[in-house]
């Protein structure tokens, strides 16, 4: 019934000609069609529509881009008509688009996918396999190469190349390629960020033919996090990332993985492995050897085709976890490629004199071992990148085919090696006590480890190990697991490997951040066990997932107490307030009727009317709240739902995006305010305004200031290049003066420094400076440098901002700002809420001369008039990965 369809029908309207067809297609999934077409599609490869006939242009053509749905439609048609292709749903994007993996291989392998998947899993996880069994599975198995394309949606080429790759492999009669398809299954995620893909393509089409063709897209190309999406693969907060990570954590266990990216326009044309130093120390050495083989074969195969400008061992290090989505910590031969960009689909002309390199592997743009065939400049087009994508992908398949038996054997050998190392080398276990300051975060870590394919256990009795007591019910993560490298990486604190270009010379700087320790970032106490213990081993029982949720509220309860120590208490409280349920907060520990409350605890009086709704709220938590049978004590503060604004700029504002994500996750309602809307808006309709990290000049003028104090003109349609201006800033201070609350962190605190003015009346302006200044520049002169690390702070007690917080935590800092307060004038005041300790400041990651921070102020509360301002010298919600500090932000919403 489908054979006779004219493919052009799919082009515009994205309508299936027969509604029934569409219905069956979606309802029964692809297996149904795979079965029907496996019979009918034999040897029908010649009937497949070419990408050009389907899309109306050859992908890669100048100034042409296709959207997500046509891409998927095309892949589905290929899957229906070709016995070399299958397509499977893998998850849902944050904006609700279905995501897919496309499987390309020989007809026999495609028919046999289920069995091949089982083999992958066994090779990946069975550390007890006999040599005979391993030989058998290596013979029967196929190498799965996973390709993750264009997660950074502005980097359009890998996805645009995907129909050409699929069509080529589906129709080829080249005996060499047929051999690859025999040995290898190419498992392609054709678009790893479908939401962002449509945003970028729509933006490009909107401006095509205008003077702003190829301009940057305002906003983030994702529901929330934009370019930070590959910084999310430890925490797995975004549903598109989760779908992709499950392919190697849970379901398909590919042996090889490649992430496809693009870089700037004026450097090398292409980057292939090996990566640059430093490398992550927990990774098995053979992973690097394998990526070097794949990378060198790409460089060789691509230059044989005359593709100039391929570079290796340049710029991109393999220390942090974003570049291969943590796959290399799970025994996958994982790698990255990067192509030089054009303006989305608009060609660029590069003068030879404009070509340059950024160091780290290439000191000059010259013929050298890391770039033996430099590109000489000229026109660079989307079609060029697409050609490079085809040849690099084919080279990877060729290498995987050539070494298929070795790769499959390596996967199982490495599994055995990791388990054996876990049994014979410390640390043997990580232990997390059942009792924690925030038990919800403990449950969060355990669920996350399970999502990553890590087994977690519980002890069924008390075990004394040296001076450490491990109590019944504590959680234990043994290191003797196939994903040992990952467990160790995320459970220990980070120590950046300091490597130098020359002995004693300049250090190789980190590419990105340097800390991601789950226990430290989430405020969960954990410790390593560095001795083998049979007693502990024998006390472990495996946890079943999903973990049990809280039970219904007991009949005898008169009120529900949500402890101030738990982040998820705020979620419950915001949900309750939005259902018009009254919520109270304890400000003092002592209560009139002896009820046991801590400062900051939330209390809801149960009534016949709200009991059902409160039950629903409680069941949505990961830990049961506390219940009280006594009647409600006096002296509690009734809360009202704060009206919150969040300031987000047009300039790929990822920190604001992450903040939106966190607010949504905790059911906290908010309104997004663009900086230029501050002048026009009635700020008094808000109680709290949040300023995520952003440069002062971007907030004020929409332009970034360079180090020489000149402005760089942004690459956006000028209608988006706007800031709040002086007028907006004055209005903001009037908002504070009249009782508003502003929470500002990291760079945006710069807005509030120095002399400010507010209008008192028509003829009078008041000038003042808040009693705070940023002293970072003087510390940088003392060589302070923090690339993105966890630093220890001490918190004051007895302040509404620190309710529920321990005395000391680690906060995510990039070295600035650091504050100094002063004695206030007029109607102003200040309190230091957090400061750095005298020593042991660095908790995890890397820092230079962090001693300069000793005893300096990290967080300050300020008062002006009737209002309040909180300045955080760190990101309290960094990439949704520092939940240890969330309460410092959430408490600010109730000031
Ligand atoms: Zn990228």
DSSP state, 59? T
Please say whether the beta carbons of 830 and 860 come within 8 A.
yes
Q: Which residues contact 556 (CB under 8 A, 6 or more apart)?
A: 627, 629
385 Cα–ligand 1 center, Å: 14
Pairing of strands 429-432, 475-478: antiparallel
pTM for this prediction: 0.94
Q: Looking at the predicted structure, is the pLDDT value of residue 872 above 90?
A: yes
453 Cα–ligand 1 center, Å: 26
Measured distance CA(151)–CA(226) in Å, rounded: 9
Residue 500: predicted pLDDT: 95
262 Cα–ligand 1 center, Å: 5
197 Cα–ligand 1 center, Å: 13
Please say whether the beta carbons of 233 and 334 come within 8 A.
no
Q: How many residues does the chain have?
A: 895
Residue 722: predicted pLDDT: 94
pLDDT in tens, 806-839: 999 999 999 899 999 999 999 999 999 999 999 9
Please say whether the beta carbons of 156 and 203 come within 8 A.
no
221 Cα–ligand 1 center, Å: 12
Please say whether the beta carbons of 4 and 77 come within 8 A.
no
Query: Average of pLDDT values for 528-554?
Result: 93
Query: Average of pLDDT values for 699-722?
Result: 90
318 Cα–ligand 1 center, Å: 15
226 Cα–ligand 1 center, Å: 10
151 Cα–ligand 1 center, Å: 7
3-state secondary structure of 73: helix
Q: For residue 45, what pLDDT band results from cuts at 50, 70 and 90? A: low
Please say whether the beta carbons of 588 and 635 come within 8 A.
yes
- The alpha carbon of residue 206 and the mean position of all alpha carbons in its chain are separated, in whole angstroms, by 29
Query: Average of pLDDT values for 850-859?
Result: 97
3-state secondary structure of 386: helix
216 Cα–ligand 1 center, Å: 15
Q: For residue 761, what pLDDT band results from cuts at 50, 70 and 90? A: confident
827 Cα–ligand 1 center, Å: 49
Please say whether the beta carbons of 601 and 585 come within 8 A.
yes
Q: Looking at the predicted structure, is the pLDDT value of residue 5 above 60?
A: no
Residue 456: predicted pLDDT: 97
234 Cα–ligand 1 center, Å: 17
CA angle 791, 792, 794 (to 5 degrees): 145
323 Cα–ligand 1 center, Å: 9
Residue 324: predicted pLDDT: 87
261 Cα–ligand 1 center, Å: 4
Q: Which two tokens stand for residue 207?
A: 């401006």
Burial class (CB in 10 A: 0-12, 13-18, 19+), 548: exposed
Please say whether the beta carbons of 164 and 60 come within 8 A.
yes
148 Cα–ligand 1 center, Å: 11
152 Cα–ligand 1 center, Å: 5
Q: Which residues contact 367 (CB under 8 A, 6 or more apart)?
A: 373, 374
155 Cα–ligand 1 center, Å: 6
844 Cα–ligand 1 center, Å: 26
pLDDT in tens, 265-319: 999 999 999 999 999 999 999 999 999 999 999 999 999 999 999 999 999 999 9
Measured distance CA(509)–CA(277) in Å, rounded: 9
320 Cα–ligand 1 center, Å: 14
Residue 105: predicted pLDDT: 98
Q: Which residues contact 434 (CB under 8 A, 6 or more apart)?
A: 442, 471, 473, 474, 475
310 Cα–ligand 1 center, Å: 17
Measured distance CA(163)–CA(74) in Å, rounded: 8
Q: What is the DSSP string of 521-534?
A: HHT--EEEE-S--H
3-state secondary structure of 424: helix
Query: Average of pLDDT values for 456-466?
Result: 95
Q: Looking at the predicted structure, is the pLDDT value of residue 37 above 70?
A: no
The residues whose Cβ lies within 5 A of ligand 1, an ion, are: 152, 155, 261
Please say whether the beta carbons of 741 and 895 come within 8 A.
yes
712 Cα–ligand 1 center, Å: 23
Q: Looking at the predicted structure, is the pLDDT value of residue 43 above 80?
A: no
Q: For residue 688, what pLDDT band results from cuts at 50, 70 and 90? A: very high
The dihedral built from the CA positions of residue 463, 465, 469 and 475, taken in this order, carries a sign that is negative
Burial class (CB in 10 A: 0-12, 13-18, 19+), 172: middle
835 Cα–ligand 1 center, Å: 36
Q: Which residues contact 333 (CB under 8 A, 6 or more apart)?
A: 255, 256, 257, 287, 290, 291, 294, 407, 410
pLDDT in tens, 667-680: 999 999 999 999 99
Q: Which two tokens stand for residue 523?
A: 């405020």
CA distances in angstroms from 176 to 179, 312, 394, 401, 803, listed in the order given = 5, 26, 11, 10, 66
Phi, psi of 174 (to 5 degrees): -65, 120
The dihedral built from the CA positions of residue 861, 862, 868 and 874, taken in this order, carries a sign that is negative
Measured distance CA(780)–CA(123) in Å, rounded: 51
Q: Which two tokens stand for residue 40?
A: 């009918």
Query: Average of pLDDT values for 779-801?
Result: 96
Give the residue ranges of DSSP H helices in 368-403.
Answer: 382-402
156 Cα–ligand 1 center, Å: 10
Please say whether the beta carbons of 166 and 104 come within 8 A.
yes
Q: Looking at the predicted structure, is the pLDDT value of residue 415 above 60?
A: yes
Q: For residue 320, what pLDDT band results from cuts at 50, 70 and 90? A: confident
Q: For residue 590, what pLDDT band results from cuts at 50, 70 and 90? A: low
Q: Which residues contact 484 (CB under 8 A, 6 or more apart)?
A: 418, 419, 421, 422
Residue 46: predicted pLDDT: 59
Q: For residue 631, what pLDDT band results from cuts at 50, 70 and 90? A: confident
Q: For residue 707, what pLDDT band results from cuts at 50, 70 and 90? A: confident
Could you tell me which residues are beta bridge partners of residue 644? 688
Measured distance CA(693)–CA(699) in Å, rounded: 10
Closest Cα to residue 258, out of 413, 395, 409?
395
- Mean model confidence pLDDT for the chain: 93
CA angle 575, 561, 688 (to 5 degrees): 45
Phi, psi of 372 (to 5 degrees): -70, -15
3-state secondary structure of 178: helix
Closest Cα to residue 783, out of 543, 507, 549, 456?
507
271 Cα–ligand 1 center, Å: 12
3-state secondary structure of 267: coil
Query: Average of pLDDT values for 732-753?
Result: 97
Give the residue ranges of DSSP H helices in 673-794.
Answer: 677-680, 696-701, 725-737, 776-780
228 Cα–ligand 1 center, Å: 9
180 Cα–ligand 1 center, Å: 28
pLDDT in tens, 187-211: 999 999 999 999 999 999 999 999 9
Query: Average of pLDDT values for 153-171?
Result: 98
């Amino acid at each position: 019934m489908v054979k006779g369809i004219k493919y052009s029908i799919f082009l515009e309207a994205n309508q299936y000609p027969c509604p029934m067809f569409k219905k069956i297609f979606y309802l029964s999934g692809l297996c149904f069609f795979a079965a029907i077409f496996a019979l009918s599609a034999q040897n029908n490869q010649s009937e497949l529509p070419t990408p050009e006939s389907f899309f109306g242009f050859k992908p890669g053509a100048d100034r042409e881009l296709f959207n997500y749905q046509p891409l998927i439609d095309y892949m589905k048609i290929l899957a229906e008509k070709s016995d070399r292709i299958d397509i499977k749903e893998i998850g849902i994007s944050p904006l609700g688009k279905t995501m897919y993996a496309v499987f390309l291989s020989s007809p026999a392998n495609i028919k046999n996918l289920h069995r091949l998947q089982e083999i992958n899993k066994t090779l990946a996880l069975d550390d007890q396999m006999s040599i005979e069994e391993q030989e058998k599975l290596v013979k029967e198995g196929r190498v799965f190469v996973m390709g993750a394309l264009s997660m950074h949606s502005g980097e359009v080429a890998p996805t645009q190349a995907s129909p050409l790759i699929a069509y080529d492999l589906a129709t080829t009669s080249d005996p060499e390629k047929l051999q690859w398809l025999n040995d290898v299954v190419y498992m392609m995620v054709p678009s790893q960020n479908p939401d962002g893909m449509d945003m970028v393509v729509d933006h490009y089409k909107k401006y095509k033919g205008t003077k702003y063709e190829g301009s940057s897209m305002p906003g983030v190309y994702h529901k929330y996090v934009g370019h930070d999406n590959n910084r999310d693969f430890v925490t797995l907060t975004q549903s598109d990332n989760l779908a992709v990570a499950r392919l190697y954590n849970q379901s398909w266990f590919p042996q090889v993985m490649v992430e496809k990216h693009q870089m700037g326009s004026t450097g090398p044309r292409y980057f292939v492995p090996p990566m640059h130093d430093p490398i992550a120390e927990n990774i098995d050495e053979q992973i690097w050897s394998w990526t070097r083989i794949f990378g060198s074969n790409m460089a060789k195969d691509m230059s044989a085709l005359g593709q100039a400008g391929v570079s290796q061992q340049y710029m991109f290090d393999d220390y942090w976890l974003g570049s291969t989505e943590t796959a290399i910590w799970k025994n996958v031969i994982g790698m990255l490629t990067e192509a030089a960009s054009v303006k989305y689909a608009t060609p660029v002309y590069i003068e030879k004199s404009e070509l340059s390199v950024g160091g780290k592997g290439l000191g000059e743009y010259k013929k050298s071992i890391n770039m033996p065939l430099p590109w000489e400049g000229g026109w660079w087009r989307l079609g060029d990148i697409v050609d490079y994508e085809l040849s690099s992908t084919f080279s990877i398949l060729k290498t995987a085919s050539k070494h298929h038996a070795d790769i499959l054997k390596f996967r199982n050998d490495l599994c055995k090696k990791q388990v054996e190392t876990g049994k014979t080398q410390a640390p043997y276990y990580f232990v997390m006590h059942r009792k924690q300051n925030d038990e919800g975060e403990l449950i969060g870590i355990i669920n996350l480890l399970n999502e990553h394919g890590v087994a977690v256990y519980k002890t069924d009795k008390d075990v004394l190990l040296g001076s450490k007591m491990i109590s019944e019910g504590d959680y234990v993560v043994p290191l003797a697991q196939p994903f040992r490298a990952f467990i160790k990486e995320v459970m220990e604190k980070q120590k950046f490997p300091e490597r130098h270009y020359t002995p004693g010379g300049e250090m190789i700087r980190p590419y990105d951040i340097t800390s991601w320790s789950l226990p430290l970032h989430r405020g969960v106490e954990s410790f390593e066990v560095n001795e083998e213990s049979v007693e502990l081993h024998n006390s472990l029982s495996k946890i079943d997932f999903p973990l049990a949720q809280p039970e219904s509220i007991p009949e005898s309860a008169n009120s529900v107490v949500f402890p101030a120590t738990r982040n998820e208490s705020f979620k419950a409280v915001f949900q309750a307030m939005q259902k018009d349920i009254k919520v109270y907060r304890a400000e003092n520990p002592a209560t009139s009727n002896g009820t046991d409350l801590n400062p900051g605890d939330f209390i809801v009086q149960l009534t016949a009317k709200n009991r059902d709704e409160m039950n629903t709220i409680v069941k949505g938590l990961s830990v049961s709240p506390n219940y009280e049978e006594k009647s409600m004590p006096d002296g509690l503060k009734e809360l009202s739902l704060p009206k919150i604004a969040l300031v987000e700029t047009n300039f790929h504002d990822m920190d604001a995006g992450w903040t939106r994500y966190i607010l949504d996750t905790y059911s906290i309602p908010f309104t997004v305010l663009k900086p230029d809307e501050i002048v026009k808006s009635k700020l008094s309709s808000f109680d709290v305004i949040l300023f995520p990290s952003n440069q002062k000049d971007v907030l004020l003028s929409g332009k970034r200031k360079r180090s020489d104090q000149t402005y760089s003109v942004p690459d956006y349609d000028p209608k988006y290049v706007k800031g709040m201006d002086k007028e907006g800033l004055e209005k903001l201070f009037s908002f504070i003066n009249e009782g508003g609350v502003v929470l500002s962190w990291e760079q945006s605190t710069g807005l509030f420094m120095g002399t400010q003015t507010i209008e008192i009346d028509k003829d009078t302006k008041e000038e003042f400076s808040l009693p705070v200044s940023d002293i970072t520049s003087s510390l940088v002169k003392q060589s302070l440098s923090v690339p993105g690390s966890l630093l220890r702070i001490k918190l004051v007690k007895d302040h509404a901002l620190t309710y529920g917080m321990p005395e000391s935590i680690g906060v995510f800092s990039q070295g600035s700002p650091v504050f100094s307060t002063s004695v206030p004038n007029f109607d102003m005041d200040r309190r230091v809420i957090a400061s750095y300790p005298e020593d042991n400041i660095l908790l995890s990651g890397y820092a230079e001369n962090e001693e300069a921070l000793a005893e300096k102020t990290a967080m300050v509360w300020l008062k002006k008039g009737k209002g309040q301002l909180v300045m955080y010298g760190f990101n309290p919600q960094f990439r949704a990965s520092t939940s240890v500090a969330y309460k410092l932000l959430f408490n600010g919403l109730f000031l």
